[in-house]
A and B are shown apart, each in its own frame.
Chain A
Amino acid sequence: MALESQTDVSTLTATQQSVRAQRHVLLTLSRVWAWVFLIALIVFFSLSVSITSEGDVNFLTLRNSQNILIAITPVLLMGLGQTFVIIAGGIDLSVGWVMGLSSVISALLARDLVARGIDPTPAIFLAFAGGIAASGMVGLINGLIIARLKVPPFIVTLGVSFIVRGVALLFSGGQTVAGLPTQLRDFGNESLLYWVGGGANQLHFLRRPEVTGEQLRALDRILGWPVVITAIVVAIAIFLLHKTQFGRHTYAIGGNKEAALRAGVPVDRHTILLYVMSAVTAGIAGLLHSARFSGGSPTAGDPLLLGSIAAVVIGGVSLFGGVGQISGTVIGALIIAVLQTGLVMLGVEAFWQFIVVGSVVILAVLIDQSRDLIIGRAES
């Protein structure tokens, strides 16, 4: 009566059991391969930077770790929403210019609200709300066209990205929006913790210590506000994707859209929400850009689009949908950033940097694919 009887462990021979154990090790290794890869990169750069540099240059420093963390924030934010979209079998090519639009809108609002006599802090909050609302609108348009009119997401988001680009350029007049309140600059460049090294060795919380000269150079900002915001968004994304019905539906749609539809998953509504989410995380990246660089730039996100998709793919999200995790995207973004920073610190010539980064991206995805083979073999 049973469909398939489970293999009885007691009847396994010793060799079968040892093969099983080997497979288990392989399986475990392949599941954490991205971490292994990242750690290997860090070890490689730590050694090679110390060996090749004259004097006391180290890769593994507090400052460098913070530089890398802040460098991944825009790429990661764009990649977070994208992770959901790609898992559900879509793609969002508009996030680059959405980031730019959000940067421009928030900068314009912050500048003009302060100019009209509103206090900088509430003005900045309103400006951020405006940037996110504008981004969300773009996501809504993407989602509506994809879900209701059944146009392929690749085409829709490509078309919308052109429109958003035009809108962002129109709003900004094609130039960086300047004249922002200094509080915004502080938010973008200050941090949760401060460490004064160089002998003083003090940790400060929230308030930047007043230091000058040599001490100023020994001042490290730990967990800059953009990093804190991004970490919060990452935590929310992990919760949503891995713990809630929303996340489960995302996987279901990516796995078999027709099945999800028949099972009563509100596929259209869900698809719309996914594109809104994707635009909103890109929009947050735009706000942080305005803050860090104290200017609203329409072109802020365009150069980052491909990097963000690369991070998602390196992290193990399948472009065919249905597979992937948030932690993968985080590691993917880290791998690219560690690589870029490490190569500059090694003094590798710029043209070679392109070649190395491209090769590692392909290598990472190749390893990920062979991982699927290993899992497939080990589980069968």
Chain B
Amino acid sequence: MEPVLSLRNILKRFGGLTAVKHVNLDIFPGEVVGLVGDNGAGKSTLIKCVSGVYHPDEGEIQFMGQTMAFSKPIDARRVGIETIYQDLALAPNLNISANIFMGREAKRRYFGGLIKTLDEEKMLSESRRVIDSLDIRLPNFGAQIDKLSGGQRQAVAIARAVYWNARLMIMDEPTNNLGVPEQRKVLDLIRKLRESGVPVILISHTLPDVFAVTDRIVVMHRGHKVAEKQTAQTDSQTVVEYMVGARSDVRAD
């Protein structure tokens, strides 16, 4: 099977510091890959190269078989790489459908497109459709985002990505700051995404979550990819040893 995302020899420097060192990584359709590592291990930097925030200094990013050079985050989103950040990237003062359609609002045209108004009905019904398809239940579609719980907001962000045909979903600490029942619901959503064939890269410090939903775990330490294991064939103890540098599958510089 062809990988959806293929990273070849990625290297990223900040001044004298090399944050990511020659990392190779393939992500295949319908799999959930956990990306773990201590703070400063380089996992966020690596992910920001994929989502277009940073440009790698060396190496190649291939997405759906094509070499990519993103100059802005929007370039990555255009090809279907959706990143769900911790701060969620939602406007708290707008309602659910307005957020799902933010920047890509549905419009009605009058006078041959001379005057365009928002098509609220279409945005509402489409939002309802995608939210329903993910088995999410939300109180009131007219509610502003700041009236929703953390898990509900997470769900809206995921629904938005799904609606806009995400081909790869990157989730950065999606369960942080959530209560336990809500954490479980977010993990359910990740499984739901896998069922629909969308691969997910999950960045998390919470190892139980990572073991609960991932198919594969990639460990980074000091900029290196030090391990890549099938989730079913490893355990927390081993992963932690890789995380702290006690074990490594690559030779250090």
Contact = CB atoms under 8 A, between A and B. Distances in A.
Is A in direct contact with B (CB under 8 Å) within the complex? yes
Interface in B75-112: 77, 87-94, 98, 102-105, 107
Contacts of A379: 143, 147
Interface residues of B, number: 34
Interface residues of A, number: 31
B138 interface: yes
A4 B91 contact: no
A217 interface: no
Contact of A252 (B94, B118, B155, B185): B94
Interface in A226-278: 239, 243-245, 247-249, 251-252, 254-256, 258-265
Contacts of B117: 239, 243-244
Given A4-B138, A245-B105, A252-B102, A259 B90 contact: yes
Given A259-B102, A260-B103, A264-B74, A6 B91 contact: no
Given A2-B137, A245-B116, A260 B152 contact: no
A6 B88 contact: no
B60 interface: no
B182 A251 contact: no
A264 B182 CA distance: 29
Given A3-B151, A3-B155, A256 B91 contact: yes
A256 B89 CA distance: 7
Contacts of A243: 117-118
A322 B74 CA distance: 23
B52 to A, nearest CB: 10
Nearest to A318: B93
A1 interface: yes
A261 B155 CA distance: 20
Contacts of B155: 3
Most buried by A among B88, B103, B137, B147: B103
B73 A252 contact: no
B67 interface: no
Contact of B92 (A263, A265, A322, A380): A322
Interface in A323-380: 323, 379-380
Contacts of B102: 248, 252, 259-260, 263-265
B89 A1 contact: no
A3 B103 contact: no
B149 interface: yes
B136 interface: yes
Contacts of B77: 262, 264
A258 B87 contact: yes
B188 interface: yes
Contacts of A244: 116-118
A10 interface: no
Contacts of B118: 243-245, 247-248
B93 to A, nearest CB: 4
Given A252-B94, A259-B89, A262-B89, A4 B149 contact: yes
A2 B139 CA distance: 11
Contacts of A13: none
B135 interface: yes
A245 B151 contact: no
Given A256-B90, A256-B92, A263-B89, A248 B105 contact: yes
A248 B104 CA distance: 11
A3 B152 contact: yes
B87 A3 contact: no
Contacts of A256: 89-92
Nearest to B104: A264
Contacts of B90: 256, 259
Interface of B: 73-74, 77, 87-94, 98, 102-105, 107, 116-118, 135-139, 143, 147, 149, 151-152, 155, 182, 185, 188
Given A2-B185, A245-B107, 11 more contacts: A1-B188, A3-B137, A248-B102, A251-B94, A252-B91, A255-B93, A259-B87, A259-B102, A264-B74, A379-B143, A379-B147
5 contacts: A3-B185, A245-B118, A251-B94, A254-B93, A264-B102
Query: Top 6 A-B pairs ranked by shortest CB distance?
Result: A255-B91, A264-B103, A263-B103, A255-B93, A322-B93, A2-B137
